[in-house]
Structure 1
């Protein structure tokens, strides 16, 4: 009697259900994960290491306080609107569009206050803008 040897078939691993399960888990994790917000970052600004700049004859120093008040070349600006600040910058520039604006903002001042200075400078036609920072000590 002759018996045939049955070939043992190798089992196949079906990966499609495995991939389906992994995709469902991935989607679940993506939807249920909470991300930390960028506004929760504690940032202390500004400090910079730079050489002292020479005084420029045509510069306007705009100081921004921590509570959002503005001072243009030592003269306080009444109010906090962009229009009033733009008028003060136009008056301080005396028609010289090449005048450099130096923004000296408090480290605790709101970002919006600095953006208002940039917008007022644009409205006044002054395109040269720089930021003042204190030098870090101990380096």
Structure 2
């Protein structure tokens, strides 16, 4: 007489699919916060403003670099042309309106990093 065998491969496959669905759904629900009102910095000692490059991102999408105005769509090209040969160890401070989209901020931040700057500070009030 033959002994019955237990095949757990389909069970493991189903569990892995359920685990993947759970991981994706938890990630999506975590990042759907709508009541976040940033930024507010700590009350410790403020950073000294010895910045070589100051970037301000306004709510309407304009970007000011040391007082010179750029549109967001032209920012990366103009920033790279103007500051591409700048000292890469220079400090860069980014001050962004708290009501801008995260995508807008990341485009500016990525542009600064692509140009080669590594010492980037984010200003808060």
TM-score (structure 2 length as normaliser): 0.66
- Residues 50-100 of structure 1: CA deviation (Å, up to 9, x unaligned): 3122231x52111111232211111111x212x533532552475211111
Q: RMSD value over aligned CA atoms?
A: 2.8
Partner SS for 2:117: coil
- Asked if 1:65 is matched to 2:46, the reply is no
Aligned residues: 101
In structure 1, how many angstroms separate the alpha carbons of the residues matched to 2:45 and 2:77?
30
TM-score (structure 1 length as normaliser): 0.60
The match for 1:52 among 37, 46, 51 is: 46
1:129 corresponds to: 120
Deviating above 4 A after TM superposition, structure 1's stretches of 4 or more consecutive aligned residues are none
Gapped runs of 5+ residues in structure 1?
1-26, 135-139
Larger gyration radius, structure 1 or structure 2:
1
- Of Structure 1 and Structure 2, the greater helix share is in 2
Gapped runs of 5+ residues in structure 2?
1-17
